[in-house]
Amino acid sequence: MPTARTLAETYRHFGEVDAAGTLYERVAVALSESREALRAVEASPARKRKPALVLAALHDLALAGRAPALAAAYAAGDGDAAAAAAVDALSRLTDAVVDIAARRRPRPDETGRSAVLYPAIAEAARRVGATSVGLVDVGCSAGFNLTVDRVGISYSDGRTLGDPASPVRVSGRVVGGRSVPTWPMPGVVARIGIDADPIDVADADDARWLRACVPPDRPERRAALDAELALAASAPPLLLRGDAVEVLPDALARVPEDALPVVITTWALSGLSPEHRLRFLHRLDEAATGRPVAWVSAEGVGVAPAVPTFGDRRASGHSILGVAVFGHSTAHVEAVGRCWSQGRLLAWLADS
């Protein structure tokens, strides 16, 4: 168990390094300097004491109207007032913060993933000759990947994909000598998410938690999130709770027979053991006995089993975009590109 000093150093480092120049810098440093606040943090299990999670829990309480002084300070952009209000709220509402931290986990920023997913899904469908697809997102978070066909995507080379009238806009920078292919995506007839702790965008508490994970001084990201939430809520996905390997067969069975199931993983497999990743691959192969099944992956180098790595080193700072098609006891697995910054930068490398 970390000592108060170690915890204090953790919060100070988060403020001065990770959150430098933001409201959270002043708040995190203030928490690191308050023994009462640190004692409150220590009321949570050790793995639930990370600054990003505790600050999001405090933000959640502010958004829910339970920490009005903190909400006012955040709205005013007043770092000193926010620091004082955060220390006070954490001390007064320790049980509530601990409860939120115990139930929740920080949610990643998913902006930009559509820029790499759309062309890869369309490529998988083209290779099979599919006229419709059913999307199955593993580690779906809030299911934003499942609206990939309804997002407007623009690339730095002037090409566009998706819905030009969409309220959700995504941009991606293309590097290298090849343009992203502009094959249209077939109609999406099923949207299914698998997650150990799925977020239901139609649930007010879940939606508020997503907003709480956005730092309060990022209004542009908050506006983008609100648009993403509204788009996802207009056609909510089917959410399946559980272990990805165990739930995957059920999810695939829910895709209509005349549609190509496309399983999506975006930085989701790194949380699984190597053995579990292989079992995931075998599940895909097993499911393809009666019809083709596709898998589109954006994972770190060497993380997605069977996906080539171009000879790149692990932990090299970028990810590999893979397209795999399983069917009739055969599998064609190809790396089609590299991407950086969670999909905001893409090098398409496949012949299309």
Q: pLDDT digit string (tens) for 224-267?
A: 999 999 999 998 899 999 999 999 999 999 999 999 999 999 99
64: alpha, beta or left, given left = phi > 0 and alpha = psi -120 to 50?
alpha
Same domain, 142 and 69: no
In a domain? residue 96:
yes
Same domain, 187 and 302: yes
Same domain, 13 and 157: no
In a domain? residue 208:
yes
Q: How far apart are CA 308 and CA 302, in angstroms?
A: 8
Could you list the residue range(s) of the whole structural domain that residue 32 is in? 7-103
At 111 the pLDDT is 62
Same domain, 217 and 71: no
In a domain? residue 90:
yes
Q: Residue 174 has which token pair? A: 């293309």
Do residues 322 and 336 touch, judged by C-beta distance below 8 A?
A: yes
At 80 the pLDDT is 96
Q: Using one digit for the tens of pLDDT, what is the confidence trace for 137-152? A: 998 767 899 999 999 9
Do residues 70 and 89 touch, judged by C-beta distance below 8 A?
A: yes
Same domain, 342 and 247: yes
Residue that is last in its domain, among 45, 69, 103: 103
Q: Using one digit for the tens of pLDDT, what is the confidence trace for 307-336? A: 999 999 998 889 999 999 999 778 999 999
In a domain? residue 38:
yes
Q: Is 341 a residue whose pLDDT tops 50?
A: yes
- Binned at pLDDT 50, 70 and 90, residue 59 comes out as very high
- Binned at pLDDT 50, 70 and 90, residue 5 comes out as low
Mean pLDDT of 86-91: 98
Same domain, 240 and 269: yes
Residue that is last in its domain, among 103, 122, 139: 103
Distances (CA, A) of 295 to 139, 160, 180, 336: 14, 23, 19, 12
In a domain? residue 242:
yes
In a domain? residue 2:
no
Residue that is last in its domain, among 68, 103, 138: 103
In a domain? residue 84:
yes
Same domain, 250 and 330: yes
Same domain, 294 and 148: yes
DSSP string, 180-233: PP-PPPPEEEEEEEEESS---TTSHHHHHHHHHTS-TT-HHHHHHHHHHHHHHH
Same domain, 167 and 76: no
Same domain, 133 and 201: yes
At 352 the pLDDT is 67
In a domain? residue 1:
no
Number of domains in the chain: 2
Q: How far apart are CA 90 and CA 92, in angstroms?
A: 6
Q: Is 186 a residue whose pLDDT tops 50?
A: yes
Q: Is 109 a residue whose pLDDT tops 70?
A: no
- Binned at pLDDT 50, 70 and 90, residue 2 comes out as very low
Q: Is 119 a residue whose pLDDT tops 80?
A: yes
- Binned at pLDDT 50, 70 and 90, residue 1 comes out as very low
Q: Using one digit for the tens of pLDDT, what is the confidence trace for 129-184? A: 999 999 999 987 678 999 999 999 999 999 999 999 999 999 999 999 899 999 99
First to last CA, the chain: 53
Same domain, 186 and 38: no
Mean pLDDT of the chain: 93
Same domain, 37 and 90: yes
